[in-house]
Amino acid sequence: MLSDLACRKAKVADKMRKLSDMQGLQLWIFPNGSKLWRFAYRHAGKQKLLSLGRYPDVPILAARAARDKLRLELAEGSDPSRTRKRERFEKSHPDDLFETVAREYLAKLEREGCRASTLKKNRWLADLAKDLWPLSVKDIRPLDVLGVVRKVEKRGRYHTALRLCSFIGGIFRYAIATGRTERDPSHGLSDALTKPKVKHRAAITDPQKVGGLLRAIDGYAGHTTTRLGLKLEALMFPRPIELRMAKWVEFDLAQRVWKIPAARMKKDRDHHVYLATQSVALLLELKELTGRGVGGFILPSVKSVLRPMSENTLNGALRLLGYAEDEMTAHGFRTTASTLLNESNLWKEDAIERQLSHVEEDETRAAYNRGEYWDERVKMMQWWADYLDQLRQQH
């Protein structure tokens, strides 16, 4: 057991040496004359050390008091080293306002390569939560979050309300991970929110009526590019925005492939569409009309080749052909294809889903189901084009 006199008179040597007190308390004496208190202990089978300060700034009685406090932590099952690290981290992050944490969270998403469009939406969601900005994340309660989300819900924006609740949850999970709070008050609140009704886009799925639609499109008397756009939509069934924004550089007519860039797909990979013989013929016809446009769009606006076709053009053409909004839409061609391809019982469901570029909801299944089913999709797309020809010819 050390005395204050022994500590004061301890001589400096060429090498660091230790003087032991009791129950893990040590005084380390360094060649430069420094004398530091250390607490040696074992936790979970590992030997560890903690610094208790410099002697004589920390006298022996104070060092023993600090040691006793740490030994009490050990007795309660805590690791004093982890406690120290957590305390240091909390001191380095003193600002726990929701606004600060939200801005840090957005910056993190940006560093991780989040798309500009997604970042813009998230900043907009953060603005919707401005009532929470001046509050500490430790003080925010579930009713505070619910009050913010309810304001959006009362305007009938049910999808946005659910997204806002999820976004706030992401901020709180980040706050938990960075030591600002210990709980997420948004957890479970989605059960208190109105679930929006799923709006199914109108589509024709009866084969005989599909044949009638195809014949109507053949007789469309408006712009040729619009007619060809509708025919391509039926043959390839992409999302209308994917077709409207398509550029000629994405098409390899020799290899019969349309590669839709990942950025436009809003996914982490490109999407490939096999071009059936009928699709190639239509694209060659279309290229004569728009292939030299400086904008590069396969379906440019009639007002300017620098802009793509309007999002309302294809739907407007369907209205002119006599198909009401609740009967058929441009997006509905995807439902038409999905329904009839599945009903044919000729193709794997996974191949159809991959051609539709649908994201696998089951993450485990998605991890093991990365096959593109390309060979089957090639056969399927040519079969689909031939099948549409058959329906067109039936009366």
- Catalytic residue list: 239, 266, 331, 334, 358, 368
Closest by Cα among 60, 41, 137 to 94: 137
Question: Rounded distance, CA 167 to CA 164, Å?
Answer: 5
Using alpha carbons, select from 96, 109, 107 the residue that is nearest to residue 175.
96
CA distance 157 to 155: 6
- Chain centroid to Cα 59, Å, comes to 55
Instruction: Retrieve residue 297's tokens.
Output: 């769009």
Are 374 and 200 within 8 A, CB to CB? no
DSSP 259: E
Give buried/exposed letters for 45-83 (b at 16+ CB in 10 A, else e).
eeeeebebeebeebebeebbebbeebbebeeeeebbbee
Alpha-carbon distance of 341 to 337, in angstroms, equals: 6
Please give the Cα distance from 33 to 36 (Å, whole number). Answer: 10
Closest CA relative to residue 209, chosen from 201, 198, 217 = 217
Cβ-contact 23, 33 below 8 angstroms: no
Query: What gap in Å lies between CA 269 and CA 260, rounded to an integer?
Result: 9
Outline where the chain has alpha helix (H): 4-9, 60-75, 80-92, 98-111, 116-128, 142-153, 158-177, 207-218, 224-236, 240-244, 262-265, 277-290, 313-320, 332-344, 349-355, 363-368, 374-393
CA distance 371 to 373: 6
